[in-house]
Structures are given as structure tokens and as C-alpha cells.
Structure 1
Amino acid sequence: MLGDIAFLLYVGHLIADFPLQTDHQAGHKALPGVAGWRANISHAATHVAVCATLLVLGAAVLGWSLPALPALTALLWIGVTHAVIDRRWPVAAWMRLARQSTWAANGGAAHVDQTAHIAALLVAALFLAA
């Protein structure tokens, strides 16, 4: 079940992060203030909605019984962690700490960002599969 849940959450992440993310969200989600948070939260909400839809479909097709409270907790985790990671400062801080300034200046931040998102999804999948 862990593999199925992790796969569905990963696919949900890809759908929400790429084809469903608007130019406005991408360009504003890390800005300071209300406008930045509004874009950020709407993008994170898209992740929650897509992942919730895929979990419901997975449960229906594969016969899972996902209790509501753990599922809601995992979805909240996905939304909150996605919003925090997408503020960009956590990735920048990690890359400074890891002494990756050259890589950061050459496009590495996008890879670290995606790795952080996938790690958060794995935590949610482990929680749901437990």
C-alpha cells in the first residue's frame, strides 16, 4: 500500500506543480506580504485538492480503507509543507548551509525544491500506510 500511496501523491504533486500551477502563482508565491501568501496558499490548496482526489480514487479502485482523520492530517501536512518550501527561503537556506551557492546560481534550487517536496510526500505516504 505504501508504494501505491506514494506514487499517487507523487503524481498529484506533478499535476499540481506543473500543468495546474498558474503563471501568477509561480511568479508571486514567494513574494512578501499578502499577495505572495495568497498566491502561495492557492497553489498549495491545488496540491491538497489534487492529492485528495487521487487518494479517494486510489481507495475506490484499490479497495483501501483510509480513515478520514489520518487522511486529512496527511493532506494538511502536504499543503503546509508545500507552502513553506515554496516560499523559497528554506531552499536558499539549505543551499547556503550545504555550501551549494554555485549550484544555486546555476539552476540547482529547482532540484532541491523538488527533492524537499518529494521528501514531504514520502512522510505523508508513510503516515497513511502505517
Structure 2
Amino acid sequence: MFADIAFLLYVGHLIADYPLQTDHQANHKAGPGLKGWTANAAHATTHVVVCGLLLALGAAVLGWRLPLLPALAAVLWIGATHAVIDQRWPVAAWMRLARQSTWASNGGAAHVDQTAHVVALLVAALFLAA
């Protein structure tokens, strides 16, 4: 069940992060003030909705018995962690700590960002499969 949940959450992440993310969200989600937080919250909400729908689909098709409150907690975790990671400062801080300034300036931040998102998804999947 863990692998199925993890896969569905990852597919949900891909759908929400790429085809459903608007240019406005991508350009402003890490920005200051209300405009930045509004874009960030809209993008994170997309993740919550898409991952929630895929979990519901998985439960219906595969016969899982996922309790509602843990499933809700998992998708809220995904949305909250996504919003924080997309502020970009956690990725920048990690790359400074890991002494990756050259890689950061050559596109490495996008890879670290996606790795952080996948780790959050795996935590949610482990929580739900336990």
C-alpha cells in the first residue's frame, strides 16, 4: 500500500507543480507581501486538492480503507510543506549549509527543491501506510 500511496502522491505533485501551476504563481509564490502569499497559498492549495483527489481515487479503485482524518492531515502536511519550501529560503539555506553555491548558481536549486518536496510526500505516504 505504501508504494501505491507514494506513487499517487508523487503523480499529484507533478500535476500540481507543472501543468496546473500558473505563470503568476510561479513568478510570485516566493515574493513578499500579500501578492506573494496569495500566489503561494493558491499553488499549495492546488497540491492539497490534487493529492486529495488522487488518494480518494486510489481508495475507491484499490479498496483502501484510509481514515478521513489521517488522509486530511497528510494532504494538509503536503500543502504546508510545499508552501514553505516554495518560499525558496529553505532551499537557499540548505545549499549554503551544504556548500553548494556553485551548483546553486548553475540550476541546482530546482533539484534540491524537488527533492525536498518528494521527501515531504514520502513522509505523508509513510504516515498513511502505517
* TM-score normalised by length of structure 1: 1.00
* TM-score normalised by length of structure 2: 1.00
- CA–CA separation in structure 1 for the residues paired with 2:125 and 2:38: 27
- CA–CA separation in structure 1 for the residues paired with 2:92 and 2:110: 10
Counterpart position of 1:99? 99
Deviations 1:60-91 (CA, angstroms, capped at 9, x unpaired) = 00000000110011011000000000000000
Identity of aligned residues (%): 82
Q: Tell me the amino acid that sits aligned with residue 28 of structure 1.
A: H
Counterpart position of 1:29? 29
Aligned length: 130
Structure 1 position 45, deviation (Å): 0.2
Structure 1 position 115, deviation (Å): 0.1
Which consecutive segments of 4 or more residues in structure 1 shift more than 2 A?
A: none
CA root-mean-square deviation: 0.3
Give runs of aligned pairs for residues 38-49 of structure 1, distance below 5 A: 38-49=38-49
- CA–CA separation in structure 2 for the residues paired with 1:25 and 1:5: 27
Q: Tell me the amino acid that sits aligned with residue 28 of structure 2.
A: H
Structure 1's unaligned 5+ residue stretches are none
Give runs of aligned pairs for residues 37-116 of structure 1, distance below 5 A: 37-116=37-116
Structure 2's unaligned 5+ residue stretches are none
Structure 1 position 33, deviation (Å): 0.8
- CA–CA separation in structure 1 for the residues paired with 2:11 and 2:3: 12
